[in-house]
Amino acid sequence: MDSAHSSTHSTKNFLTDYIDIILGLIFTAIAIFFHLQHQMLLSVLAAAIAIGAFSMTVAEIAEILADRLEEPYASFVLTFSAVVVEIVLLYMIIANSHDSVQGLETVKGGIISAVIVDMNVLLGLAVFIGGISNLGKHKLEQKHNEESSSTYTTILLVATSALLVPSVLNYTDSADKLFQTSVVIAILLMIFYIAIFIFQTKTHNEFFKYKNRFARMNKIEKAIKENGNADEVEEHDENYLFERLPNIANFIAIFIFIFIIGILAEIFASDGMVLAKEYGISTGLAGLIIAIIAVSPEVVTAIKAAKDDEIQRVINIAMGASTVSIMLTVPILMFLAYINGIKLTLDFNAFQVGALLLTVILAWKTTDNGETNYFEGVSHLMFFAAYATIATMYH
């Protein structure tokens, strides 16, 4: 009887630990099959699910590495994992667009939408679910370090304002001057990010911390309540493959998963561009879909953190990923496009820049006092619903 229970428990733990990889492999096979059969809608859907699953694995391995490494390397690993899927997906759109207006507008929509999704869906859902969960514990608010949210919103306001420059020039100057200005802005964003990275990891890292319960402590407390001891949690963590692997092996594993994601992104982009033309999908909606796929692993991580009363981690994920999405994704994509003979400019439309500015202002208002509640989460979700509605119809 004990043997049967132990076997069932081991199987359950195995599925819990590796469900993302299992789903990723299954849907990768499905995506490739339908791609070869020219069933584009099914191949795109399967590829999107597989990309989301493998992105979760990349995020989990990155967290393990970050726990082992000292700053600034820990933050670099988390930053890299946060943007790599977004960059791969958007680059494949560029590569398959053949310099078409629709393809480049989709990429621009994807860049903006990544920030919108991070700051409204990720932050909104996490704050809402975390707030509801804590009502049962008789806590009306979840607390975080207001210095971090204040710093992040300042950074995002400056970065968003910088994107206004080429957008304005689009109406007044030549295409060459627009591209030159876009390059200058991209370089400035990269320099700004380096300054932010030093500020966050070296000189003012206390701004991004909050002495709260950690996820691991919550797991142990839960295990003690349910089982009477925490040994099961210890054993479960140690049995996870990537916890046992050395750092170099985990880095190799990340690159392997990214390579697979790249293959899936090629299928997603090539078949997706055809579908977008066939069904008349707006570039705004296409960019939004790409952003949701890229951000989905972070959303899951943030919701778990919020339920464990780690709202500081949610703030760092949402605002940190948004910062990286502008300051690293933009320069890297412009460089990758240029070496492929494509001039990607930063002339975002008025709707995109306006939505970005309003998102930063909303995030500033909902986090500036160091406390969040479920209603503030609802506010972000309502804003996103309005944005998604307009993006669907905006051409």
| Nearest to 310, CA basis, from 213, 205, 208 | 213
Counting as low any pLDDT under 70, the low residues of the chain are: 1-12, 70-76, 78-79, 99, 136-139, 170-173, 205-238, 394-395
User: Is the separation of the CB atoms in 87 and 61 below 8 Å?
Assistant: no
Structural domains for the chain: 2-393 (1.20.1420.30)
pLDDT at 120: 94
pLDDT at 9: 55
Q: How is residue 163 written in tokens? A: 């994107």
pLDDT at 219: 47
Compute the distance between CA of residue 125 and CA of residue 123 in angstroms, rounded to an integer: 6
pLDDT at 8: 58
pLDDT at 75: 62
- Distances 219 to 31, 302, 316, 339 between C-alpha atoms, Å: 36, 16, 21, 48
Compute the distance between CA of residue 356 and CA of residue 112 in angstroms, rounded to an integer: 7
Angle subtended by helix axes 350-367 and 146-169, to nearest 10: 170
pLDDT at 220: 45
pLDDT at 301: 80
Q: Residue 369's CB: how many other CB atoms inside 10 A?
A: 12
Q: How is residue 261 written in tokens? A: 């994601």
User: Is the separation of the CB atoms in 104 and 90 below 8 Å?
Assistant: no
User: Is the separation of the CB atoms in 96 and 270 below 8 Å?
Assistant: yes
Per-residue 3-state assignment (H helix, E strand, C coil) for the chain: CHHHHHHHHHHHHHHHHHHHHHHHHHHHHHHHHHHHCCCHHHHHHHHHHHHHHHHHHHHHHHHHHHHHCCCCHHHHHHHHHHHHHHHHHHHHHHHHHCCCHHHHHHHHHHHHHHHHHHHHHHHHHHHHHHHHHHHCCCCCCEECCHHHHHHHHHHHHHHHHHHHHHHHHCCCCCHHHHHHHHHHHHHHHHHHHHHHHHHHHHHCHHHHCCCCCCHHHHHHHHHHHHHCCCHHHHHHHHHCHHHHCCHHHHHHHHHHHHHHHHHHHHHHHHHHHHHHHHHCCCHHHHHHHHHHHHHHHHHHHHHHHHHCCCHHHHHHHHHHHHHHHHHCHHHHHHHHHHHCCCCCCCCCCHHHHHHHHHHHHHHHHHHCCCEECHHHHHHHHHHHHHHHHHHHHCC
Compute the distance between CA of residue 370 and CA of residue 143 in angstroms, rounded to an integer: 6
| Nearest to 264, CA basis, from 12, 64, 73, 88 | 88
Compute the distance between CA of residue 196 and CA of residue 320 in angstroms, rounded to an integer: 10
pLDDT at 331: 93
User: Is the separation of the CB atoms in 367 and 380 below 8 Å?
Assistant: no
